[in-house]
Amino acid sequence: QTNLEHLEFQAEVKQLLNIVIHSLYTDREIFLRELISNSADALEKLRYKKLTQTEVIDEDLPLEITIELDDKEHTLTITDTGIGMTKEELVENLGTIAHSGTKAFLKYLAESDKKDVNVIGQFGVGFYSAFMVADKVTVETRSFAPEASGCVWTSEGSGSYSIGETGPLKRGTKITLKLKEDAREFAKPDVIKRIIKQYSGFVPFPILVNGERVNTVQAIWTKNKNEVTEEEYNEFYKYIANAYDEPLLRLHFSADAPINVNALLYVSKHNIEKFGFGRLEPGVNLYCKKVLIQPQAKDILPEWLRFVRGAVDSEELPLNISRETMQDSALMAKLRKVITGRFLKFLNETAKSDPEKYKEFWTNFGMFIKEGAATDFTHRKELVKLLRFSSSRAEEGQLVSLKDYLDRMPEGQKEIYFINAPTKEAVEASPYLEAFRGQDIEVLYTQEAVDDYILSQVGEYEGKKLVSIDRANLEIPEQQQPEGEALAGEELAGLMKWLKEVLGDKVSEVKESKRLSDSPVLVVNPDDMTGSLQRMMQMINK
């Protein structure tokens, strides 16, 4: 006998459900992909538990996903023999706790012009898509942990849900959808089989529909490039990235030295970290001869590549490697080095061969490249090549690399100039640029304090010093001064004395300069610290 407790959804979940239930969809069939992907995740977690010898109940249950359709009752039931959930996990995962993904998804829907509900899975709230087709969802689940008991969760999607412990269940999760009147086609085997083939072909566990197996499991990352079709590449991406659309970038490569590796890596079109999702989890699975060793492996790529999705397979990895040994194994370090190096090379090649695509990448994922350039000394040199800026010579929206700058720099110019400029208009109206405009010297515009930090850390590029033009001791040719208007002698000395008196401790010195032609004064920095960096430090020290 089940005693049900009634609980309210967390406020943002309610809002999200309201949108999910009441919007019109062209592609609501993606609900199935979301549920299957959750089952596959749960099965993968279970497989890992077994591999690491955690005690698991119902040990001999086959790892699979079964879908039962009842066209008379209008129900769809999806069952997996995965890791299951305890009662606490049910509450946490499907109800009361606010996940950053909920908020981020709402923000995405409010801000993006496409209003594409189908990307729901990428925000980590895919489960709720069940309410696109069902007016009642029931989850029966039993955790793998021997002491856990069976639990049931049920909701009609409107504000609240019920939860309780129930009788004995087999390990895993069973989700029953009572289909909406206008969604009854989802109880038809042909429809469901077609959807599975379209979205879930790469799920590495058998999927059975009314007892019949529908998917074939393929490890395309171990194949040769010419054996894989564009379609297969895209399908695999959708599976591995839990994505609905196509990837922005793809890199498939293999190597034998210095370590054996097959890798298939993708970059998505959206960067959900930008929408306040919180920190992305790493998204590359680690395999040994097609067997999953670690899903979303932490150490296979540096932190700043956490937006990359895909599969890495190495025959040299021991099958039964634990997370602890993985962390500091020399093998992992070698793999990481090879893959990171190859990926950076790929980005540089893309920038050359397809500038438009690179621009799209930079606009969405540039923040990660900057993070890498600021924190990862090992790869800094390659990362600096990937940085892009606006500049005094660039048109609105045009991006400039340090190499572009160097290539068109006049002979004799010894330094590369930059200035922090959150907006092009603001900086172009400021006196800093006067001296440079007069001489047609290009100045790069950095947008964030982190850019200035990176450039000051990097110091130079191809032997040219990187210099912020708000510095006091700039070595640039003097400006033509407007005739007959300049103060000199005592008048000038008097003005400078007066200025110093008035400004007091706010400035360390007032000096005569030949840098300006139109503006009367300019505030400059006595040391290497740029203005934006100082503001950043002040914020940190508060």
Residue 77 or 93: the one with the smaller Cβ distance to ligand ADP is 93
Residue 85 or 384: the one with the smaller Cβ distance to ligand ADP is 85
Q: Does 93 bind ligand ADP (CB under 6 A)?
A: yes
Give me the residue label for tokens 């490249």. 369
Q: How many CB atoms lie within 10 A of CB 490?
A: 8
Measured from the CB of residue 140, what is the shortest distance to ligand ADP in angstroms?
Answer: 11
State the virtual CA torsion across 362, 363, 365, 371 in degrees, nearest 10.
Answer: 80
For residue 231, give every residue at least 6 positions away whose Cβ sits within 8 Å of its Cβ, in sequence order, or none: none
Coil, strand, or helix at residue 104? helix
Q: Among 102, 16, 33, 78, which residue's Cα sits nearest to residue 241?
A: 33
Residue 126 or 295: the one with the smaller Cβ distance to Mg ion is 126
Measured from the CB of residue 183, what is the shortest distance to Mg ion in angstroms?
Answer: 20
Separation of alpha carbons 521 and 497, rounded Å: 14
Measured from the CB of residue 32, what is the shortest distance to ligand ADP in angstroms?
Answer: 12
Name which position in 66, 102, 118, 173 contacts ligand ADP (CB under 6 A): 173
Residue 83 or 152: the one with the smaller Cβ distance to ligand ADP is 83
Please list the residues that pair with 141 across neighbouring strands. 151, 173
Instruction: Kindly calculate the radius of gyration of the chain based on its CA atoms and give it in whole angstroms.
Output: 29
For residue 143, give every residue at least 6 positions away whose Cβ sits within 8 Å of its Cβ, in sequence order, or none: 83, 84, 85, 86, 89, 171
User: Do the annotations mark residue 100 as ligand-binding?
Assistant: yes
431 token code pair:
């006196």
Binding span for Mg ion by CB under 5 A among 5-13, 32-40, 257-265, 422-430: 32-40
User: Do the annotations mark residue 80 as ligand-binding?
Assistant: yes
Size of residue set near ligand ADP by CB under 6 A: 17
Measured from the CB of residue 37, what is the shortest distance to Mg ion in angstroms?
Answer: 5
User: Do the annotations mark residue 93 as ligand-binding?
Assistant: yes
Measured from the CB of residue 34, what is the shortest distance to ligand ADP in angstroms?
Answer: 6
**Amino acid present at 430:** S
Please list the residues that pair with 443 across neighbouring strands. 417
The contact mask relative to ligand ADP for 18-57 (x = CB under 6 A, - = no) is ----------------x---xx-xx---------------
Q: Does 124 bind ligand ADP (CB under 6 A)?
A: yes
Measured from the CB of residue 78, what is the shortest distance to ligand ADP in angstroms?
Answer: 8
Q: Which does 85 bind (CB under 5 to 8 A by kind): Mg ion, ligand ADP, none?
A: ligand ADP
Name which position in 13, 16, 38, 417 contacts Mg ion (CB under 5 A): 38
User: Do the annotations mark residue 391 as ligand-binding?
Assistant: no
User: Do the annotations mark residue 86 as ligand-binding?
Assistant: no
As a 3-state breakdown, the chain gives helix, strand, coil percent values, each rounded to 5, of 40, 20, 40
211 token code pair:
């007892």
Separation of alpha carbons 203 and 353, rounded Å: 33
Q: Where are the beta strands (DSSP E) in 283-414?
A: 283-288, 291-294, 309-313, 390-391
Measured from the CB of residue 138, what is the shortest distance to ligand ADP in angstroms?
Answer: 13
Furthest C-alpha separation in the chain: 101
Give CA angle at 158 (153, 162), nearest 5°.
25
Size of residue set near Mg ion by CB under 5 A: 2
Q: Does 126 bind Mg ion (CB under 5 A)?
A: yes
Residue 23 or 378: the one with the smaller Cβ distance to ligand ADP is 23
**Amino acid present at 108:** Y
Name which position in 31, 126, 169, 306 contacts ligand ADP (CB under 6 A): 126
Separation of alpha carbons 456 and 68, rounded Å: 61
User: Do the annotations mark residue 116 as ligand-binding?
Assistant: no
Measured from the CB of residue 178, what is the shortest distance to Mg ion in angstroms?
Answer: 21
Long-range interactions of 216-220: CB distance < 8 A, separation 24+: 219/287, 219/290, 219/311, 219/313, 220/264
Measured from the CB of residue 195, what is the shortest distance to ligand ADP in angstroms?
Answer: 17
Distances from the Cα of 338 to the Cα of 112, 148, 327, 335, 342, angstroms: 36, 43, 16, 5, 6
Binding span for Mg ion by CB under 5 A among 11-19, 30-38, 297-305, 449-457: 30-38
User: Do the annotations mark residue 85 as ligand-binding?
Assistant: yes
User: Do the annotations mark residue 184 as ligand-binding?
Assistant: no
240 token code pair:
């591995």
Name which position in 80, 235, 273, 371 contacts ligand ADP (CB under 6 A): 80
Residues annotated within a binding site for ATP: 34, 38, 80, 85, 93, 100-101, 122-127, 173, 323
Binding site for Mg ion (CB under 5 A): 38, 126
- Going by the annotation, the residues of the binding site are 34, 38, 80, 85, 93, 100-101, 122-127, 173, 323
Binding site for ligand ADP (CB under 6 A): 34, 38-39, 41-42, 80, 82-85, 93-94, 124-127, 173
